[in-house]
Chain A
Amino acid sequence: MALLEVSNLTMHYTTRVGDVMAVDSVDFTLERGRALGLVGESGCGKTSIAMTILKLLPENARILGGQIRFDGVDLVPLSEDQMRKYRWDHISMVFQAAMNSLNPVYTVGDQILEAIQHHMPMKERVARKRIAELFNLVGLDPAVMDQYPHEYSGGMKQRAVIAMALSCDPSIIIADEPTTALDVIVQDRILKQIDKIREELNMGMIYISHDIAVIAEVSDRIGVMYAGKMVEFADTHTIFKSPVHPYTYALMSTFPSVKGDKRELVELPGEPPNLIEPPLGCRFHPRCPRATAVCQEQEPVFTEVTNEHFCACWNQRS
C-alpha cells in the first residue's frame, strides 16, 4: 500500500468575486521512501494541494470531494483536533519563503523544541540533544540553536526550517519551493542535503516547485499541474524523455538539453486561465498547439497510458 494516496481531490476557495477551483480531481500516490515532484506555473494549485493534505486551509476554503489516504487513513473527514495529531508528527512541511516561517521573538532552538515537546514529550536535555543532531544533519552548527532567526543567514534559516520539519520523525515531508530564495550554489548544496537525508531516513517527500531543473534533480516521480488539474504523472525519466501531454512537452522544451537531439524551443502563448471561470473542456486548450474540437467541449480524463504513466489529454503525443 502506498504511503500517501490522493484520489479525486477537489478543493475551492470562496471569494467575493466567485469560487476559485484551486484543486480539481487530482490523483497521485507517494510510496515510502520515494520523492514526488509537483511542478507547474504559479497558481496552478501545487501549493494548494500541499495545504489541503495538511488541511491548513483558510476559512473560506472547502474540500469538495476526494480522499487523502495516509497509511490507509482518510484525512479528509478528520476533525481539526484529530488532524493535529497527524501534523508534523507524520506529515510535516517546509514552507515557501522559509525566512518568515520562524517567529522572530523566540530562538530557533525554542521553536523546534516546541514542536518536539508537543508531539513527543521528553526531558528538555534530551530534546536539545536531538535538536543538535538534527542541526548536524542539515549542516548547521548546533551552537547557533540559541540564537534568534534574524541572526541567521538565508541559507541557515532554510536549513533550520528543514531541521524543524524533521524534528518529529515524520513519514512525509512536503517541501514547497525550498530553495527559491537562495542563490544557486547554496541551492545546490541544500538540495543535495535534503536528498541525502531522505535516503538516510527513508522518508517520503513531496517537492513543489515551478523550477523543472530542481524537480528533476530530486524526484523519483513527477506530477505536472496546470490550472488546478494534474495533467501528467510518471517517473522522472519518462517525463523528460517521452512526455505525452502537450503542456509537459512544452515545459521540457523550455530548457535545452546539452546532449540528446536538438529540439525546437516551444513557446507557450497566452497565460494560465482564471480559476474562477476556467475554460470549458480541457483547461489547457486555449494555449495548446494540438487542441481540437473535442478539447473545447469535454474535460479529458486522467487515464493510465502505460505502466504507472498517467495523462489527461485527448490528443496525446506518442
Chain B
Amino acid sequence: MLRYSLKRFIQMAVVLVIYATLVWFIFYAMPGDVTMKFIGNPKIKPEAIQKMRVQFGLDKPVYIQYALFMKSLFTGNLGISFNHYPRTVWSIIAERWPRTVTLFLTAIVLYYAVGFYLGKVIAWRRGGVADYTATVGGIMLWTVFTPWWCLLLIWFFAFKLDWFPLGQFVTPKVWMLAPVGSNFVFTRMLATGLFGPLAILVGWWGLRKVVHDSRTRKWLNWGVTAGILAISLLVWANSGLGKYALDILWHMGVPLIALLTIGFAGSMLLMRDSMLETINEDYILTARAKGLPERVIRDHHAARTALLPVATSFVLAIAFALNGAVIIESVFSWPGIGRTLVNAVATQDYPLAVGAYTFLGLFALIAHFAADILYAVLDPRISYKRGEGA
C-alpha cells in the first residue's frame, strides 16, 4: 500500500513539473510579454518599460527565465499582483481559497449523496418511468448552460420567492460589527466540515476493532455520529460565531441549489451504470441464494462494489469543480478563486491570473492523486501488489 502511494506520488511530481513547464511556456514564452500593455501608454516612458523588463527578468535568456520561474513557483513565490499592489498573489489566493472550497466541497458531497442514492435505486429497479425521467431530466440539467440556469434559479429563488439573497457571500449589515474576518469563519467551517466526518470515521473504525458484536456496534456507530454532530453544533453556538456561519450558509443557498441540480446526474448515471454491471456478477447471485433480503443485497453487496468508480469520480469531481468555480462564482459574485481568476484576466492582472490558474492546476493534481489512493483503499485487490496466496 505504501509502495503504491509512493509510486503514484512520484508520478504526480513528474506531472507537476511538466504542468508547470507548460504553464510557463504558454504564459511567459509567448511572443510579447507583460510589458507589452504599457507600450502604448504615453504616461510611461520607454526607459521605465526597459527597467520593468529588467525587473521581471525579461532581458535574460529564455532558459534562465524558465529556471527562475520554476524556482519561484516551487518556493511559493507567485509574484505581486498588479491590481492589488502591494499584496502578493499568494496572500490573495490564501485569502480566497477557503470560500471556493467550502462552497464546492459542500455541493459535491450533497450531489454525490443524492446521485449515489438515486443511481442505486434506479439501477436496482431496472427500467420503468422513474429510470427514464431521472435519466432524461438529469442529463438535461447536466448539459444545461450553467449561467443561464443560475440566472433562472436566482430569479426564482432569490427574487420570486425571496428565500435567499441575490448574490455575494455575506450580508454587510450582519458583518459590520463582526469581531473576525470572513476568512476566519470560513476556515472554521471548513475545519468542521472536514474533521467532523473524519472524527466519525475514526470512531467507527475504532469501534470495529473493539466491539465484535455487529448489532451493538451499529447502535454505537449511530451514537458516535450523533455525538460528534452535537458537539460540533454546541461549539459553534458557544463561540458566538454561529450567526456569521449561518449568514454564509444562507448565501450559499442558491449556488448550492444550482450545483446540486446540475451535478447530481453525473454521479447518478455513473452509479447506475456501475450497479448494472455489478448486478450481473456471480456473487450477487450467491447473495440471493443465501436468502438475504433484497435491500441487503442491493446496498451491502451491489452498491458497495459499484461504489468504487463513483468514489474515485467524487475526488475527480473536486478537480473539475474548479472549472465550475470559474463559472458559478462569476454568476453569483462569490469571491473565491474562480472569480479571482476571471477578474484578474479581465483587468489584465497577469501575475494574479497565472497564480490563480496554477493554484487550480495544483489542486486538480492533488485531487487526482487522492483519487488513486482512495481507489486503492477501497478495492483490496489493487493495493495488494503480490500475487494470489498459496
Contacts and interface: CB of A to CB of B under 8 A. Distances in A.
Nearest to A118: B292
Contacts of B289: 54, 56, 87-88, 92-93, 95
A: interface residue count bin:
35 or more
A209 to B, nearest CB: 18
Nearest to A58: B285
Contact of B212 (A83, A86, A124): A124
Given A124-B212, A151-B388, A153-B388, A104 B381 contact: yes
A84 interface: yes
B98 to A, nearest CB: 35
B282 A95 contact: yes
A153 B389 contact: yes
Nearest to A128: B212
A93 B286 CA distance: 8
Contacts of A89: 291
Contact of B380 (A86, A93, A105, A124): A105
Contact of A88 (B291, B304, B305, B389): B291
A147 interface: yes
A259 interface: no
B47 interface: no
B4 interface: no
Contacts of B56: none
Contacts of B287: 103
A14 interface: no
Most buried by A among B290, B380, B390: B290
A103 B283 contact: yes
Contact of A105 (B126, B379, B390): B379
Contact of A151 (B212, B378, B384): B384
Given A100-B283, A152-B388, A105 B305 contact: yes
B389 A152 contact: yes
Nearest to A113: B214
Contacts of A56: 285, 288-289
A288 interface: no
B69 to A, nearest CB: 45
Interface in A54-81: 54, 56, 59
B292 A103 contact: no
B162 interface: no
Contact of A150 (B378, B381, B390): B381
A105 B377 CA distance: 10
B122 to A, nearest CB: 16
Interface string A146-164: 0110111100100000000
A114 interface: yes
A103 B305 contact: yes
B283 A125 contact: no
Interface in B344-389: 378-381, 384, 388-389
B290 A87 contact: yes
Contacts of A87: 288-291
A119 B289 CA distance: 12
B: interface residue count bin:
20 to 34
B212 A102 contact: no
Nearest to A116: B290
A105 B281 CA distance: 13
A16 interface: no
Given A88-B289, A92-B289, A118-B291, A104 B380 contact: yes
A291 interface: no
A104 B288 CA distance: 16
Contacts of A118: 290-292
Interface string B120-161: 000000100000000000000000000000000000000000
Most buried by B among A56, A102, A105, A106: A105
Interface string B289-330: 111110000001100110000000000000000000000000
Contacts of A150: 380-381, 384, 388
Interface in A81-132: 83-89, 92-93, 95, 97, 100-106, 114-115, 117-119, 123-125
A238 B390 CA distance: 41
Contacts of B285: 56, 95, 101
Contacts of A156: 389
Interface string A184-206: 00000000000000000000000
Contacts of B281: 100
Contacts of A92: 289-290
Most buried by B among A85, A106, A123, A147: A106
Contact of B293 (A54, A84, A124): A84
Nearest to B278: A103
Interface of B: 126, 212-214, 281-283, 285-293, 300-301, 304-305, 378-381, 384, 388-390
Given A59-B126, A101-B286, 6 more contacts: A54-B289, A106-B304, A118-B291, A124-B212, A150-B388, A152-B389
Nearest 4 CB-CB pairings of A with B = A87-B291, A100-B282, A84-B291, A103-B283
20 contacts: A59-B126, A86-B291, A87-B289, A89-B291, A92-B289, A95-B282, A100-B282, A102-B286, A103-B283, A103-B286, A104-B305, A104-B381, A105-B304, A115-B290, A119-B291, A124-B214, A148-B380, A148-B381, A150-B384, A153-B388
